[in-house]
Structure 1
Amino acid sequence: MYSAIMKRAIGEMRRSLEGQGFRMQSRIFSQHGRHEAAEDAPLMLVACSGGRDSLALAYCASIVCPMLGLRCGAVIVDHNIQRGSGAVAQKAADQCTSMGLTPVSVVSIRVQKSRAGEEADARDARYAAIVECAKRTGASAVLLAHTLDDQAETIIMGLMRSTGTQALAGMPAVSIKGDVRFIRPLLKLRRADTTQLCTVAGLEWWDDPTNGDGVAFSQRLPPEYPLRSRIRHDLVPFLDDFVGGDATALLTGNVRQAREDTEFLDASARDLAARSLHEASCDCDRKTLELSVEPLRTQHAALRKRVIVIALNRLGIPVSSRNVESIDGLIADWHGQGEVNLPLGFSANRQSNVIHLCKDGGHANR
């Protein structure tokens, strides 16, 4: 007999998979008993860190995937940042194997430092390793263990970084990175739920020193701790006290509506970008993009600015609201102003009805 939280978690997992087309592979899987998935059945790959959330996800996947006739494996990424990380990764792999997951891969990586900071660098390196593993194993999708608590923290971080309506939309239930589909089946569960699931299943989880619970977090975290950790252990409890209730529920209450609005605007912006954004040659011998002003000039600012973000992303230029506003001024408030200086040596220059995005400052004098 499954507990109430186990039934709920299984239901969420099943709805997530079936919603992505991973339905029961054969009628035989509706019959009692355990049946082996076919060798060519879709493979679900659990991204497991050894923490409570990802172990709970692996446990649920080990139950639901066989119900549907799907194969289920796991990938564990060892970032080699903290002492003993190899042992933590191996223990996570052993627990996934004991649940019947196969294949189980431990991928050791070295995180390259950049101006983005260690947290962002580790995330980028982790996703790159997971994408490579998914392609190597032929996985149909990767399962991520983000919960409703993670969703609330992501919304707060987005609001702090001024990402507009995208911040309110939080993390999507499904996303694509490097042509690999990522699914988040636990977005409606809480961290307390995953803790309970691991306890019931007898799983021993590992707490990242900057993310765990207990005495270490009974006082304010020092500023050098990752932003997400300070939000989790300082800000969210303060907000709970301030509102006299569950701040996480309040923050995530309108995620679905915000996500639908954002997806509509993003799709419309992609269509507009296809008509107005073009690659071009330039004397600087580097990748150059041109924005045609005419298709953009009469569009709503929400769409214009999204097209600008698409352009900056294609060139690998860090996005800031100030730069987006300045480039939008070249479109909607053109009065002969000079170039807009952008990070990494890029600039935006308007000549006639075309805005050039490149590293060749000579555009301004043509």
Structure 2
Amino acid sequence: MTGPSREVAAVRLAVRRALEASGRGRHGVLVACSGGGDSLALAGAARFVASRLGVACGLVTVDHQLQEGSAERAAELASWARSEEFSPVLSVAVEVAGRSGGPEAAAREARYEALCKAAHDCGGATVLLGHTQEDQAETVLLALARGGGPRGLAGMPAIREVDGITFLRPLLGLTRAEVRAAGAEMGLKAWEDPHNADPAFARARVRSALPVLIDVLGAGVVANLARTAALVADDTAALDELAERAVSVARVPAGLAVDVLLTQPAALRTRVLRLYAAELGAGALSQRHIAALDTLVTDWHGQGPVGLPGGVLVGRSGGLVAPVRG
């Protein structure tokens, strides 16, 4: 009796390692599945691995209601998942229109809200996402194009906490071709999202550009971009840890002490300012916001407070950077 193909074994192993290394899954796992090749292969592998680990494995699909027939596709996917004995099986429709940011950001925000709620409803299940090595490479390229800095170049984390829910990306070390070959070997019929090739979306444009980079720079460019993300992520995590210590040193009852901030290198100082702004309730901070806060420390000449998302105002008064009450 022959075992699974190399690709199927690789995807199953990646899922098992992610669950075991993270120590997650005790409350069950939920596979976020769009019906595309990557997430469908992840679902098939997760169902296999979870059954052998004695872990409950459910599936959740999010209908963004942005395409004709999306509700029918979600229903078909849910029906397939039930036939494969995923439990629970959830299909969630979300409203994308009216949210801030571009269409991709709005859809992502709506999707994560839905996934977090679904996981909480399942008792805190761990959510598995089907991003591959190519997805990571595309993320790095987008960050480069947008001047995202180290945090953007770190790409998508393999493990992330959102609203108390753990998200795992087991397939970041595997290529899209490997993952989809595994899905085909499992007999899974994938759906191709037309948005993936729609030039109206930035990621789709990057996806179409990646083959050109491969032609020019060689086949290793995808793995190298993903490796860069992993290396930068390690550095960023270390700097963030140092910044958490530095913010406690700079903190005084009324704000942050400028003289202490000035002793910190820029990489730490700006992280301290980001942490402090987040504590004050400012969300979705851009590099522009952080740079403006930093001028209050390094180039203050009496300018007024900096306005941050969430209606937060931060200004300087003498030797302190502190919130300004409206």
How big is the shift at 1:118?
A: 1.3
Please say which of residues 107-116 and 132-141 is displaced more in the overlay. Answer: 107-116
- Is the Cα contact below 8 Å between 2:314 and 2:323 reproduced in 1? yes
2:307 paired residue number: 342
Report the identity percentage: 37
Counterpart selection for 2:236 from 262, 266, 275: 262
- Residue type matched to 1:265 in 2? L
Q: Secondary structure at the match of 1:188?
A: coil
1:250 to partner: Cα distance: 2.3
Deviations along 1:53-74, one digit per CA (max 9) or x if unpaired, are 1111100001111111111111
The 1:320–1:140 alpha-carbon spacing in structure 2 relative to 1, beyond 3 Å, is: closer
For residue 248 of structure 1, the aligned residue among 206, 217, 222 is 222
Structure 2 distance, partners of 1:140, 1:253, is 29
The whole-number CA distance in structure 2 between the counterparts of 1:229 and 1:279 is 48
Q: Does 1:119 align with 2:99?
A: no
Residue in 2 that maps onto 1:16:
18
Partner of 2:292: 326
Matching residue within 98, 118, 128 for 1:143? 128
How far apart are 1:177 and its partner, in Å? Answer: 0.3
TM-score by length of 1: 0.81
1:174–1:183 CA contact under 8 A, matched in 2: yes
Change (3 A) 1:259 1:343: closer
Given the superposition, is the C-alpha separation of residues 51 and 359 from structure 1 closer, same or farther in structure 2, using an over 3 Å criterion?
A: farther
SS of equivalent residue, structure 2 residue 194: coil
Where 2:316 maps in the other structure, the secondary structure is strand
Cα displacement (A) at 1:206: 1.3
Query: What's the offset of the Cα at 1:279?
Result: 8.8
1:103 to 2:88 alignment = yes
**Which residue in 1 is equivalent to 2:141?**
156
My pick for the range that moved more, 255-264 or 177-186, is 255-264
Contact 1:50 / 1:91 at 8 angstroms: preserved in 2? no
CA distance in 1, matches of 2:56, 2:286: 42
Deviation sequence 1:113-146 (CA, Å, 0-9, x none): 2341111011101101110111111133111111
- Distance, in Å, in 1 between the alignment partners of 2:216 and 2:307 is 40
Distance 1:274 1:99, change over 3 A: farther
Structure 1 unaligned regions, length at least 5? 24-40, 213-220, 281-289, 361-366
Aligned with residue 206 of structure 1, among 169, 191, 206: 191
> Shift in Å at residue 22 of structure 1?
4.7
SS at match of 1:211: helix
Q: Does 1:293 align with 2:267?
A: no
Q: What's the Cα RMSD here?
A: 2.2
Instruction: Pick one of 198, 202, 208 that aligns with 1:227.
Output: 202
CA contact (8 A) 1:326 1:340 kept: no
Deviation at 1:162, TM superposition (A): 1.8
Give the AA of the match of 2:295.
G
* Structure 2 Cα separation of the partners of residues 358 and 161 of structure 1: 31
Aligned positions of 1:5-84 closer than 5 A: 5-22=7-24, 42-84=27-69
Higher RCO, 1 vs 2 (CA within 8 Å, ≥6 residues apart): 2
Quick check: which has more Rg, 1 or 2? 1
Q: Residue deviations 1:162-201, cap 9 Å, x none? A: 2212233211110000010111111111111222122112
Greater Cα offset, 264-273 or 122-131: 264-273
Distance 1:178 1:59 in 2: 27
Q: What does residue 316 of structure 1 align with?
A: 282
Kindly provide the amino acid, as one letter, of the partner of residue 258 in structure 1.
V
2:158 is the counterpart of 1:193: no
Contact 1:46 1:72 in 2 (8 A): yes
AA partner of residue 327 (structure 1): L
| 1:307 pairs with 2:272 | yes
Name the CA distance, whole Å, in 1 between partners of 2:161 and 2:284.
Answer: 20
Distance 2:159 2:284 in 1: 24
Q: Distance in 1 between matches of 2:245 and 2:41?
A: 40
Stretches of structure 2 lacking an aligned partner (at least 5 in a row):
none
